[in-house]
């Protein structure tokens, strides 16, 4: 039997499969149910590990933060931010400084301002801004939380910014392991900026299948809430489509034992999807004060930047 007939047997009710798609049969239902339960178990285990201070799963990906930031800017018709190595170095230095000092604030205990880290890295700015985050589960949650705060959102969507840099460091915050995240925003001073700081135009390279699989695996680990939502939504949608086909095509020959398991598994997937989105905590200490140190994000203008 060729590929397309096999595919039809799995998805579409017709005489060849006795109007019973293979994907609704017992073996596949057991697989889908086991996969849904294993996925939920992975999500819960990752959250428990992070709640207890385990940092091996608490990875935030810089490229994902920039991607989500640019998605938010695109929704406001703002230009895309380009990663700048000098801003990234400054952000990394600030993140490491917070991790080593165990503080979470725009101003360090020894009086350093965000702009001190930026200028020390050699970035000559006209505009600059800083967003901070700590104790998050995944990259998407970081940007979502920033967008929910008016002052942090103002930095993300400010049209004057042209470049960004991310810093990520592991440390201890209020007695437990924490991931510190720093995002710097900047626009070069019109006088010319820093020699050698120009960013080359991006070169599009098609990733290999191995790179694609590795990236998806890394994203699954670093963004478990988003990944599991896609999994549950995909399984529920597939099963509901299959059940709709089975219902409208020769319902009179469908056995209850074929339709009921698919309905139950789809229901379980939808339940976990809604439960995780509305009830399952996003990370430790689920209050705004635990997610942000001083609620205001500092943004400097031309006058403030004229004497860095």
Residue 124 has pLDDT above 50, yes or no: yes
Tokens of 43: 């999500």
| Burial group, residue 303, by CB count within 10 angstroms (0-12, 13-18, 19+) | exposed
Q: What is the DSSP string of 41-78?
A: HHHHHHHHHHHTT--SS----HHHHHHHHHHHHHHTTP
75-79, 83-87, 258-262, 292-296, range with the lowest pLDDT: 292-296
Percent of the chain residues past pLDDT 70, beyond the cut: 71
| Burial group, residue 120, by CB count within 10 angstroms (0-12, 13-18, 19+) | middle
Across the chain, mean pLDDT equals: 76
Residue-level pLDDT at 25: 87
What confidence tens digit (pLDDT) does each residue in 62-111 have? Answer: 999 999 999 999 998 889 999 999 999 999 999 999 999 999 989 999 99
- Distance CA(132)–CA(129), nearest Å, equals 10
Confidence of residue 1 (pLDDT cuts 50, 70, 90): low
Residue 30 has pLDDT above 80, yes or no: yes
| Helix, coil or strand: residue 195 | coil
Residue-level pLDDT at 97: 96
| Helix, coil or strand: residue 241 | helix
Whole-structure pTM value: 0.57
What confidence tens digit (pLDDT) does each residue in 222-236 have? Answer: 567 777 888 999 999
What's the residue count for the chain?
A: 308
């Amino acid at each position: 039997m060729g590929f397309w007939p096999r595919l039809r047997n799995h998805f579409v009710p017709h005489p060849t499969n006795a109007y019973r798609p293979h994907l609704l049969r017992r073996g596949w239902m057991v697989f889908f149910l086991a996969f849904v339960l294993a996925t939920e178990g992975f999500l819960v285990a990752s959250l428990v590990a992070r709640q207890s201070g385990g940092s091996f799963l608490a990875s935030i990906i810089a490229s994902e933060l920039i991607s989500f930031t640019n998605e938010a800017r695109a929704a406001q018709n703002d230009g895309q931010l380009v990663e700048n190595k000098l801003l990234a170095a400054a952000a990394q230095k600030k993140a490491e400084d917070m991790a080593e000092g165990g503080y979470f604030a725009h101003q360090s205990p020894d009086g350093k301002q965000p702009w001190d880290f930026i200028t020390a890295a050699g970035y000559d700015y006209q505009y600059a801004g800083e967003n901070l985050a700590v104790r998050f589960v995944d990259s998407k949650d970081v940007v979502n939380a920033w967008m929910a705060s008016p002052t942090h959102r103002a930095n993300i969507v400010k049209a004057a910014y042209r470049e960004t840099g991310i810093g990520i460091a592991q440390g201890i915050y209020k007695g437990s392991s924490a991931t510190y995240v720093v995002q710097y925003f900047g626009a070069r001073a019109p006088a010319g900026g820093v020699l050698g700081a120009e960013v080359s135009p991006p070169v599009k390279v098609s990733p290999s299948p191995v790179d694609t699989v590795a990236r998806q695996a890394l994203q699954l680990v670093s963004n478990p809430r988003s990944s599991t939502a896609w999994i549950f939504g995909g399984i529920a949608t597939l099963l509901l489509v299959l059940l709709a086909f089975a219902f409208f095509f020769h319902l009179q020959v469908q056995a209850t034992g074929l339709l009921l398991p698919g309905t139950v598994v789809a229901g379980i997937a939808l339940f976990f999807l809604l439960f995780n989105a509305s009830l399952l905590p996003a990370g430790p200490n689920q209050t705004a004060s635990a997610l942000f140190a001083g609620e205001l994000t500092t943004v400097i203008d031309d006058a403030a930047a004229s004497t860095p």
